[in-house]
Structures are given as structure tokens and as C-alpha cells.
Structure 1
Amino acid sequence: MSPNMIGALLMIASMACFTLNDTFMKLTAGAIPLFQLLFLRGALTTSLIVALKGRLGQMHFDISRRDWVLIGLRAGAEVLTAYFFMTALFHMPLANVTAILQALPLTITLASALILREAVGWQRMAAIAIGFIGVLMIVKPGADGFTIWSIYALIAVVLVTTRDLITRRLSPSVPSMTVTLVTAVGGMVTYGLASLSTDWVAVTSVQMLLIAGSAIFILGGYFFSVQVMRVADVSFTAPFRYTGLVWALIIGWFVFDHWPGALTMAGAGVVVATGLFTLYRERKLAG
């Protein structure tokens, strides 16, 4: 297979791992306080990264002060994302939350234009506007289906956009695994301290297996996404990120017996279509 085909398969695997991570967390069914749950996952993820040091990529800490500040800000955005996303995930169907997250290519493109002053033509701006309509179709503002949890999911989108913009500002010499380790440790410490404000509950063996599975899959998702960047063109593999929605629909149907309504599916289709057009325009302009 060509490098790009391998990259496409790796991206599909990455999206599957991230979706399975969400599934394992959702299967805990809120039986464990959120802060305790995030602490335990963070501790396991940190342990896995340390145990696999050097196998998933280079790791060192000889980094400039500027990059350390950016890494800290990125970790902070990631920690907040986990709270808002997991809260939404526990109160919304998996596919619905995932559908909202499909707006990320659009929000990142818009933010790049507004904040980083990157050139964005009228066609991509029009796609962003249409994609926003698709998001409104999913969250259904003013309708009975709209809840505070939809807002939490949208806040997660804003935070992930912020995280990715910060990532773009990191120096190329900063190892991805160092950033991942700092983020995992930051989440573990933050939610470990936050968990002291609530009573801990006993974790059953089944729940511990679910948390362990979540930690493994979230690390797997990251590993595959790193490999994608090494073997394939970013512009070619980026559209395959939308397979995350396919995985969420399949898992949501088989595991949680839920299939989104017609309006949600239509909105997701609009978001994905406009996102693909945005990626197409970026690739055409780059060529």
C-alpha cells in the first residue's frame, strides 16, 4: 500500500480508539464521581506513557521557556476539555456528542483566520457559516432536545480548538510524547486534587477494567494519530477523521441501543460535508 493509504487506515484506527475510549468511560454509567474517574484514567495513562517511554516516540525535557508556557496552556485546555466533554458524554448519546465535535475542522479554520491571521477565502468562510447551521441542527436551540449538556459539548469544541491553535505554535523540536506526558500528568494532578472535594466510592473490578480499557484506547488513539503524521500527507488523511462519527453511530447502536434522530443526522451530514469542502479547498490552495 502507498504511504497515504496506510495513513488513512491509521487515521481510521485512531478515530476508532478515541471512540472506544469514550464508550468505556460512558459504560461506567456515572457510578464513579467524575473527578475520581478522570484521576484514575489519568494515573493509568501516565503510567502507560512512562512504561512505554521511547516506544511511541522521542521524549526529552530540554525545551525553551516559551514552549513550556505553551505546553502548560495546552495542558490546561485539555484538562478543561475533559471535564466539559465527559459531562456532556454522560448526559447525551455518544453519537450526538461526536456529531457536535465534527465541527472542529470548521472552528479551527475560522480561529486560524481570526487569531493567527491565516488567509481564508470567501468559499471557506461560506462553508464555515453553513457548517454552523449544521451544528444548530444537531443541538436544536429552542427545541425540546436542547439542554445544558449541548452547551457543554460546544464548550468542549471551543477548548479543543484553543488546544490545537496552541499546538500549532509549539516549536517543531518539541517531542509529541513530552507534550502528551505533561498533559496526562496535569490532568491526573488537577483531578486528583479536585476529587478531594467529593467522597470517593469503591471501584468494582468491572469498573476498573473499563477505566483501564479507556486509558489503553486513548493512548492507542494518540499513538495512531502520531503515526499518521509520520507516514502520510496531512491533507489526504484529515477527511478520515470523520470516521469517528461512523464509529460512534455503530457503537451507539450496538452498545447503547440509540440511533440519532433525522434532524441530528441531517445536521451531522451538513457539518461533515462543509468540513470536507474546507479540507478540499485547503489542499487545493496548498497545491
Structure 2
Amino acid sequence: MTGSLSPNQKGALLMLGSMAFFTINDTLVKLVGETVPLWQIVTVRGVMASVLLLCLARAMGALRFDLSRRDWGLVLARCATEMAVTYFFLSALLQMPLANITAVLQMLPLTVTLCAALFLGETVGWRRSLAIALGFVGMLLIVRPGGADFGPATIYALLAVALLTLRDLVTRQMSPAVPSLTVTFLSAFSVMLFGLGLGFGESWQPVGGREWLLLSATAVLILLAYLCAVMTIRVGEVSAVAPLRYTGLVWALLLGWLVFGEFPSGLTLLGAGIVVAAGLFTLLRERQVAENT
């Protein structure tokens, strides 16, 4: 069946799978967080993900530590941002509706484009600049500063977006000689150590069979999501499949409603729609610019 599909069609299916796995993972983490402390979630999932990634990287011959000093500095910087992202994102996830935090995260392509222009010297025309500005308007409709729902969790979500932007910019600066699986393994391992640090002085809370099952599922889902994301880039054109990343918001709306009985307000949906439209325009405009150069 897949043999008759074009590379971009295969890439599209992989991107759809990646977004589904990421969002289902977030749903399971949110469920586990009802009974298990954050530091235990981070630690246990970090151990499982590290073991799985280590085995995969070794099997694929993609585990390399003979990196240049510059690349090691970038890898360590990425690990540091990954630890901070994990803390702020999961803290927000455990307190915010699933669709709301997913909608905030849809700002990432826009913030990366903006910061690449500001700090890396990449050219961004007035059309994409306008789309980025509209995206920020949409984000304000989602978070509504000063509103009743605006609190620490919302700030955590915004900090997660800022740190994810920094992480992606750091990753862009790595040389092609750095295997993606090596970076991901080191990131997962550092997050595991960070979880242990968060739990310093805390008592281990008993974890039941249901929680162990959910935590195991999150580790597998994260691995599958990562593999699909990597294969997407290798199989299809990024400009052709990238717009499908917004299907993660559809999954978040569906799972938030089915699992938690959550459904966002009209203003949140409007803001999310503006952010998605701005992001799609930015991606399509980048593709047009690339084709004309």
C-alpha cells in the first residue's frame, strides 16, 4: 500500500502520526499527573525514554560522542533548555485545559521565524512579519492577560514557547555531523537527571499499576512521535508536510473533550484559528520564497 504513495504522501502520513502520538502522550501525562508528583513523572519517563533511545541509537549506529567543542557546547545548551521546557510545559499541562496549552504551542513556528530574523539574520518580508503580528494577536485572545483564567499556568506555557524557540534556534546551529538520535538521547538523559534533582528531599509516592502502565505508554509514544518526526523530514518535503503539524490542535480538542470534559471558549477557538492561519501563511510564504530563489 505505502509503496504506491509519493514521498510527500508518506511524509504527510508520518506527520499526522507524529502529531497524534505527541498529543496522546500529553493526554496520558495529564492523567498520570492527577495522582503522581511532577518530579516522579519526569524521572520515570526520563529513565524509560533514555533506555529506549539508547538501544535505538546503538542499533542504528547513531550514537556518537566525538563531537567538536562547538557542537558539544550547543548540545549542552540544548539539554539545558530541554530541562527548562519540560518543567514549564508539564507544569502548565497539569493545570491548563489540553486544547488551550496546545493552542499556545502553535505559536512556535511564528516565534522561530521571528527570532531567526532577529538573531540569525534570516530575511523575513513584510507579509510574514504581518502574519507573525497577527499570530501574537491570536495568542493574546487565547491567554487573555488580566482575565480570570490568566495565572501561573499560562505564564508557564508562554515560557515553554520561549524556551522551545531558543531550543530550536540552538539546534539549527549544530553541524550536520551531530546525529539527531545522539542529541535526543542526551536530552532525555539530562531531563531524567533534572527530574531527580526536582525530587531531592522529597518522598517517593507509591505508584500503582495503572500509573506504571500510563508512564510506560508515554515513553513509547514519545519515541514513536520522535521517529515519525525524523522520518517525515527524510521522506517528504518539509514545506509540503509542515502545515499538518496543526492537526495536533484537532487531537487536543478531541481528547480534551472526550477524556477531561474540556472544551475551549469561543475566544480561545478564535485565537487558535488566527494563530493557525498565521502559521500556515508563514509556512506557505516560506515555500514560495524558497522556490523563487
1:29-81 deviation per Cα after TM superposition (whole angstroms, max 9, x unaligned)? 33222112101100000111123234567222221111011001001101100
Deviation of 1:20 after TM superposition, in Å, equals: 1.1
Q: 1:58 and 2:62 equivalent?
A: yes
Give the equivalent residue in structure 1 for 2:28. 24
SS at match of 1:27: helix
Give the equivalent residue in structure 2 for 1:47. 51
Give the equivalent residue in structure 1 for 2:40. 36
TM-score normalised by the chain length of structure 2:
0.95
Question: Which stretches in structure 2 are left out of the alignment for 5+ residues?
Answer: none
Give the equivalent residue in structure 2 for 1:245. 249
1:128-175 deviation per Cα after TM superposition (whole angstroms, max 9, x unaligned)? 111000000000112212122111100000000000000000001110
- The answer to whether the 8 A contact 1:11-1:228 is kept is yes
CA distance in 2, matches of 1:57, 1:140: 48
**Closer, same or farther: CA 129–4 of 1 in aligned 2, 3 Å:** same
Q: Which amino acid aligns with 2:269?
A: M
- The answer to whether the 8 A contact 1:56-1:223 is kept is no
Greater Cα shift, 45-54 or 230-239: 45-54
Q: 1:145 and 2:130 equivalent?
A: no
CA distance in 1, matches of 2:252, 2:273: 14
Which contiguous aligned blocks of 4+ residues in structure 1 show a shift greater than 4 angstroms?
54-57
- Of 256, 260, 263 in structure 2, the residue corresponding to residue 256 of structure 1 is 260
Question: Which stretches in structure 1 are left out of the alignment for 5+ residues?
Answer: none
Q: 1:286 and 2:283 equivalent?
A: no
Q: 1:186 and 2:182 equivalent?
A: no
CA distance in 2, matches of 1:75, 1:123: 34
- The answer to whether the 8 A contact 2:57-2:182 is kept is no
- The answer to whether the 8 A contact 2:22-2:221 is kept is yes
User: What is the total number of aligned residue pairs between the two structures?
Assistant: 287
Give the equivalent residue in structure 1 for 2:113. 109
Give the equivalent residue in structure 1 for 2:236. 232
Identity percentage of aligned residues: 51
CA distance in 2, matches of 1:61, 1:235: 31
Greater Cα shift, 268-277 or 31-40: 31-40
CA distance in 1, matches of 2:61, 2:201: 36
SS at match of 1:174: coil
RMSD: 1.1
CA distance in 2, matches of 1:145, 1:43: 34
**Closer, same or farther: CA 216–109 of 1 in aligned 2, 3 Å:** same
CA distance in 2, matches of 1:57, 1:277: 38
SS at match of 1:19: helix
TM-score normalised by the chain length of structure 1:
0.97
Deviation of 1:28 after TM superposition, in Å, equals: 1.1
CA distance in 1, matches of 2:36, 2:72: 33
- Of 86, 93, 98 in structure 1, the residue corresponding to residue 90 of structure 2 is 86
CA distance in 2, matches of 1:151, 1:57: 40
- Of 209, 216, 221 in structure 2, the residue corresponding to residue 217 of structure 1 is 221
Q: Which amino acid aligns with 1:275?
A: G
